[in-house]
Amino acid sequence: MTTPSDHTDRRPPMTDQPASISPEALSAILRDPDDPRYPSQITVFCDHCGHEDTRDYLVSEDMTRQERLAVARQYLVANEGWECDPDGDDFCPVHASTDGLEQRPTA
Ligand SMILES: [Zn+2]
């Protein structure tokens, strides 16, 4: 039985810093053996057009997949203009604030 690994146990390459934290904060966290957090790549995609946004976010071992996704959503909503509705749908900056989605996309 294989378990897909959705997190990174190894340290990330220094050339690819997480977008949501400063390099200084990241290196401090990685140096601190008592800090359970580590960067993990999380992808959020737009339920309207399928646009994907993949970034590294700080998560900890005991966070569930949903909790990790919530971290990513919070960042995108606060910094990138994304919108996440209570139903769990995510919308990229282009499709955020579509006011109840009255204009349904024709697939
Ligand atoms: Zn979109």
Domain segments of the chain as ranges: 38-91
Q: What is the mean pLDDT of residues 16-39?
A: 82
What's the pTM value of the predicted model, to 2 decimals? Answer: 0.66
At residue 13, does pLDDT exceed 50?
Answer: no
Ligand 1 centroid to residue 52 C-alpha, Å: 9
Ligand 1 centroid to residue 83 C-alpha, Å: 10
Which residues keep their CB under 5 angstroms from ion ligand 1?
A: 46, 48-49, 51, 92, 94-95
Q: Write the DSSP string, 15-75.
A: TS--SSS-HHHHHHHHH-TT--EEEEEEEEE-TTT--EEEEEEEEETT--HHHHHHHHHHH
